[in-house]
Chains A and B, each alone.
Chain A
Amino acid sequence: MLNAAHPERPDALTWVFLGLGLLLLPLGLYLALAAPPDVNQGYLARIMYLHVPGAWLGYLAFAVTFVYSLLYLFRQDPRYDRVASASAEIGLVFMGLALVTGMLWARPTWGVYWTWEPRLTTTAILFAVYVGYFLLRGAIEDPELRRKAAAAVGILGFLNVPISYMSVKWWRSLHQTQSIDLTTGKIHMDPAMLQALLLNLVVFTFLYLGFVRFRGFLAALEERKEEA
């Protein structure tokens, strides 16, 4: 996923990912809209085609940030940091999409926009961690210290995922009586629905890869300008 040290323009692979993503996006949307409505939830279930890939890639993106932050701290090569921060940025966008679509879905389904369900809470915490990640980056002028500090936040923040999840899960189970679990509201999928969902997942993954590579390229340009 690394770009060359001093690229002049985004490389071919970046364009391929972006192109495939953008080309397939209308197809994904078409399949999503053409898929049969859910038995229980009707047309509302269609929000899933955006929600699930968004959340999935958000987590993937933060995992990538985690790995590249570790690599940066041990190898001290700014390229790793560029990938980590690009991935966090795109991850924040996807995660935001997942949170918003989730809330839109929750309102008619559960009657509330928000509930302290473990997965939701963990996601919100993770979202806050990466907002902090970018505030921190903005606050540090020295590039080296900025990269190191960001890497530390990227690592500690991601380690927190399983622990937060467990804590919120127990917290609710011991406390609240009402229980809304995403897994109990499981949608049994029609093959057409599954197809549409998987295609959208692939489309989003392409978009993610393309965006991260493109963002990494922009970051490299920015850095070069800063140096000149």
Chain B
Amino acid sequence: MLLRLEALSKRFGRDWVIRDLSLSLDRGEVVALLGPNGSGKTTLLRLMAGLLKPTRGRVERQGHALFLPNPPAFHRHLTAREHLLFDLAFHGAAGDWEGALKRFGLPAELPLAAFSSGMKKRLALARLTLLRPDLWLLDEPETALDQEGRALLQETIREARKGASVVLATHDRALAEAVADRAVWLGAA
């Protein structure tokens, strides 16, 4: 068991965003979170990551989780190379950053301020493949990606599930059907 949510509820101010949600996830599983805007997909991912504390209920997590926000967050004054090198070192990991950049078709020496949103998405995926978390939490990973980028995303998720599990929040039914074993539908708040 990699992740278990027990009767999870989260409230912001007076509004309940998530109510009584239970879910468990094994290594190797891919789960898609579906639902309209404002149905709590991002909140749920952040709860899973431990970035938010549940109002009620529990999150049990084994292993290391990483969260890919939408849009992805980077320092604009660093280059892709510097960012990946820092992330690798800060996480105490080693990896072939040059290969990863090449694979995702990204320039190494351009400051991120000059990256398009699709390139940033690709960089975020490259970063995850390098850091190899046990739990991948992806928030709308398909947005801003072109055809080739989407193919890369699917490939990345399929590779990731070999050793880890993936939760992705998405509006793309086709993507969910292509990669996910299960889907969780979150209703409107």
Contacts and interface: CB of A to CB of B under 8 A. Distances in A.
A144 B13 contact: no
Contacts of A227: 11
**How many interface residues does chain B have, given as a range?**
under 10
A226 B13 CA distance: 8
Interface in B42-56: 53
A141 B14 CA distance: 11
Contacts of A142: 12
Nearest to B14: A226
A216 to B, nearest CB: 21
Chain A: interface secondary structure? helix
Chain B: interface secondary structure? loop
Nearest to A145: B53
A152 to B, nearest CB: 16
Nearest to B52: A144
B13 A141 contact: yes
Interface string A134-158: 0000000110100000000000000
Interface in B35-84: 53
Nearest to A148: B53
Contact of B53 (A141, A144, A226): A144
B14 to A, nearest CB: 8
Contacts of B13: 141
Nearest to B13: A141
A75 to B, nearest CB: 14
A141 B12 CA distance: 9
A7 B53 CA distance: 25
A6 to B, nearest CB: 14
Nearest to A226: B14
A151 to B, nearest CB: 15
A109 B94 CA distance: 72
Contacts of A144: 53
A141 B15 CA distance: 13
B32 to A, nearest CB: 29
Interface string A107-147: 00000000000000000000000000000000001101000
Nearest to A142: B12
Interface string A193-228: 000000000000000000000000000000000110
A27 B14 CA distance: 48
Interface string B1-28: 0000000000111100000000000000
A15 to B, nearest CB: 32
A39 B5 CA distance: 73
A142 B55 CA distance: 11
Contacts of A141: 13
Nearest to B11: A227
A125 B138 CA distance: 48
Contacts of B12: 142
A11 to B, nearest CB: 26
Contacts of A226: 14
Contacts of B14: 226
A142 B11 CA distance: 10
B47 to A, nearest CB: 13
Nearest to A228: B14
B58 to A, nearest CB: 13
B83 to A, nearest CB: 28
B134 to A, nearest CB: 25
Lowest 5 A-B CB distances belong to which pairs? A144-B53, A141-B13, A226-B14, A227-B11, A142-B12
5 contacts: A141-B13, A142-B12, A144-B53, A226-B14, A227-B11
